[in-house]
């Protein structure tokens, strides 16, 4: 299911499905986002604080549902992640969302909502920057615009433009993208909201996790057969835990060599998405082709109308 792409001057709904923030930060970041060229409509409970959450579960779900229903809102971008999306998922009305498909973008804790809406409704959602993100970074901003504005036929990721990117098992593949934050994906296993990776290209990122935790989570995905049946992997930013520099640790590359590469699937490592300033946008449920010879990721079909 495709949503209509947005244009400058259109209205973006801003919600907080997870963590809360101070009003001063919220206002500053919303102002910055508006300066990108959009009108904004702020959810009624974005400024709420309920412990570490941006309001109680039902009111966070209420804000999201209202943005889907509101005909003035052309797209929905989350303010921030943190924690809490899982708590409000049972209160979403999938029938209403299906009747009002819109661009929906976020990452980190929002991973759960992105993949759930695609899995249940076929709605292509977007793993990309949030209102609190750094849109002054040109790579982040341009990728977001190319993914969600107007038609997505101009969407392209040039692997050759990133010095840190590594590729392995370089067989060209096409498939639908799913994925996001590794720890959130693992937390959904065994629930109605768990990710479906069969015949998909799985992308993963995480922040501030120790190497042994990343090892444990990749092992969990493997034991749950989530790695075995996917077509390939795209690994993004794994921002290290600053206290995880012990002498006998594996490096992240060593862990990838142990856990991912033996599966002999096409793999991209160090693509800049996730919890860093360069955070390119990836369409969850979007069909893409990975051409390793050209070093390009391009759409097979459009993501937005």
Annotated catalytic residue 302: no
Q: Is 71 helix (H, G, I), strand (E, B) or coil?
A: coil
Distance CA 19, CA 17 (A): 7
Active-site residue, selected from the candidate residues 108, 152, 183, 187: 108
Structure tokens at 69: 């229903």
The side-by-side arrangement of strands in the sheet containing 166-168 is 157-158, 296-299, 287-291, 173-181, 200-209, 232-240, 267-269, 166-168
Annotated catalytic residue 108: yes
**In which residue are the tokens 């971008």 written?**
77
Q: Is 153 helix (H, G, I), strand (E, B) or coil?
A: helix
CB 46 within 8 A of CB 22: no
Structure tokens at 35: 């300066």
Annotated catalytic residue 127: no
Active-site residues, by number, are 108, 205, 275
């Amino acid at each position: 299911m495709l949503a209509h792409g947005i244009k400058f001057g259109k209205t973006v709904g801003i919600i907080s499905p997870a963590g809360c923030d101070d009003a001063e930060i919220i206002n500053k970041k919303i102002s910055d986002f508006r300066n990108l060229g959009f009108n904004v409509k702020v959810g009624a409970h974005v400024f709420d604080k309920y412990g570490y959450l941006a309001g109680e579960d039902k009111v966070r779900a209420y804000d999201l549902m209202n943005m889907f229903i509101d005909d003035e809102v052309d797209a929905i971008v989350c303010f921030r992640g943190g924690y809490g999306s899982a708590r409000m998922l049972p209160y979403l009305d999938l029938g209403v969302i299906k009747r009002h498909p819109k661009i929906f973008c976020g990452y980190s804790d929002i991973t759960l909502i992105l993949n759930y809406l695609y899995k249940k409704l076929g709605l292509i959602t977007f793993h990309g920057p949030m209102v609190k993100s750094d849109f002054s970074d040109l790579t982040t901003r341009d990728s977001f615009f190319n993914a969600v504005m107007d038609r997505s036929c101009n969407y392209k990721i040039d692997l050759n433009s990133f010095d840190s990117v590594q590729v392995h098992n370089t067989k060209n593949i096409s498939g639908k993208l799913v994925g996001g934050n590794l720890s959130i994906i693992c937390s959904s296993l065994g629930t109605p909201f768990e990710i479906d990776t069969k015949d998909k290209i799985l992308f993963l990122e995480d922040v501030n996790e120790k190497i042994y935790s990343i090892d444990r989570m990749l092992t969990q995905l493997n034991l749950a057969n989530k790695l075995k049946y996917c077509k390939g992997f795209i690994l993004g930013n794994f921002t290290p835990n600053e206290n995880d520099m012990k002498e006998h640790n594996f490096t992240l590359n060593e862990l990838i060599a142990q856990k991912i590469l033996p599966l002999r699937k096409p793999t991209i490592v160090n693509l800049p998405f996730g919890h860093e300033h360069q955070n390119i946008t990836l369409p969850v449920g979007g069909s893409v082709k990975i051409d390793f010879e050209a070093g390009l990721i391009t759409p097979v079909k459009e993501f937005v109308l």
